[in-house]
Amino acid sequence: MDQRDVSQSVRGRSEGIGMTPMRILAENPMGRRQWTAVALAIFLNGLDGYDAASISFAAPGIAESWGLDPAALGWVLSMELIGMAVGSVVFGIAADRFGRRPCILTCLILMASGMLGATLSQDVLQLSTARILTGLGIGGMLASLTAIVSEYANDRWRPVVISTMIVGYPLGSVLGGLVARHLLVVGEWRDVFLFGAIVTILTLPLAIALMPESPIWAGRQSVGEGLGKANKILKKLGLPSAEEAEAGGTTGGSASLAALFRGPLARVTILLTLAYVGHMTCYYFILKWMPKLVVDFGYEAQIGADMLIVAMLAGSFAGPVFGFVASRITLPLASIIVLLGAALAVNVFAQVGTDRFALIGAAALVGVFFNSGGVAFYALLAEAFPAELRGRGIGFGVGLGRAGAAFGPAGAGALFAAGFDLSSTAFIMSLGSFVSALVLMWLFYQKKRTPGMPLV
């Protein structure tokens, strides 16, 4: 039986009574429109990665141009993390209430406005405001994209589609970093933000044209109207019509968030979020400060950008490898190993000195362990919450994690300003990932002792 026969066979089953949009998407082969939307989502996540990393590439030029001390620069580097935290939670809820597509388009507008605002900023306050605005879009984009991509994909391709989309984030940082490196040579730090603003603006009409609403979300709205909207989208995707709407409707944001803190799930929510905060605090310290630290070693700004590119490139390859390893030795054990490795890697980077090849190796080590740690927490958060709470559970964990992580770059800046050297600062910041590993050890120990406790 060839692929066309298989497709027709599956579609024939899908046309039976009782088929919902979710089952139709899950059981039918993915068509061209679905793959196009998924490809666009990967690109949008890459754009997210560039916009988030742009402040790191621009940091040496900002510090030199405005004469910022480490403490002030640390807060500037943290601003979009605050926006990302709020955006993850707010748009995670909004995507469930108002749809994935309008949230994605709104986030693109916020990102473009923030990047353009950074280009035109004349002081720290203006730049900080612009970065918060950019962060709102970045955080909301990730939450909305994760939901819509998982709903576009069928059962066969969903794991591949989601993991590829996640890898798009560091790849966007890498490819954008190559552009930023050139811009720093021929122009100035403002050009890094201007490039991001132009690309984001050009992407908006593509998203409008090529990314339809999720049929699953549409089918969960008021039964008659929702099913009709879902079937219109399914027709555009080349899929058969649904006979029944999805069970249940859109729930209120407050009820869903409150459910995260009921019964045994409360302990998992609190501890997993705290562990994520610890790792992200260390992660964003080294991510945001790396180009500036390399410049302080005596290298030019483009070499600092190169080191961040090395770290993000290594991290983009490490994510899929982590998934393979976790499937062999269990997700909990793999997560603890990479968190301990991250704590070690940041100290190695601080100790290697000014030798360029040693710095390249240390940057790659940082990228491997820190990105694997981030992937680990997305997997842990996804496994920790039941399906009806998963989207908001992830949004809450990621949002709070990034809010706490804002103190990573700022805290490091305060330590530098207080006279701490790089080795001492790196050791203090590495405690975030180390303590995170300890929290997970305790959490998994409690899981073994408590039958029925949520978590992997």
Q: Residue 389: pLDDT above 80? A: no
Q: Are residues 185 and 275 in the same domain?
A: no
Q: Are residues 305 and 441 in the same domain?
A: yes
Domain span holding position 434: 251-456
Among the three residues 235, 250, 265, which one is the final residue of a domain in this structure?
250
pLDDT at 132: 94
Q: Residue 390: pLDDT above 80? A: no
Q: Residue 229: pLDDT above 90? A: no
In a domain? residue 1: no
Query: What is the rounded (10 degree) CA torsion for 81, 87, 88, 93?
Result: 160
Q: Are residues 379 and 414 in the same domain?
A: yes
Could you tell me what percent of the chain has a pLDDT over 90?
A: 34
Q: Residue 367: pLDDT above 90? A: yes
Q: Are residues 211 and 263 in the same domain?
A: no
Residue 302 CA to residue 184 CA, distance in Å, equals: 7
Q: Are residues 201 and 271 in the same domain?
A: no
Residue 38 CA to residue 158 CA, distance in Å, equals: 10
Residue appearing with tokens 């403002």: 190
- Mean per-residue pLDDT of the chain: 84
Task: Give the DSSP letter of residue 300.
Answer: -
In a domain? residue 395: yes
For residue range 33-60, what is the model confidence (pLDDT) as tens digits?
Answer: 889 988 998 899 889 889 888 888 898 8
Residue 175 CA to residue 151 CA, distance in Å, equals: 28
Q: Are residues 245 and 260 in the same domain?
A: no
CATH (domain of 28): 1.20.1250.20
Q: Residue 337: pLDDT above 90? A: yes
Residue appearing with tokens 């997305």: 378
Q: Which region holds residue 298: left if phi is over 0, alpha if psi is between -120 and 50, else beta?
A: left
CB–CB of 125/424 below 8 Å? no
Q: Give the residue with greater pLDDT, 98 vs 246.
A: 98
Counted domains in the chain: 2
CB–CB of 285/409 below 8 Å? yes
For residue range 70-110, what is the model confidence (pLDDT) as tens digits?
Answer: 888 888 888 888 898 888 888 877 887 888 899 999 999 99
The one-letter amino acid at 184: L
pLDDT at 163: 67
Among the three residues 195, 219, 250, which one is the final residue of a domain in this structure?
250
In a domain? residue 87: yes
Q: What is the pTM of this model?
A: 0.74
Q: Are residues 229 and 297 in the same domain?
A: no
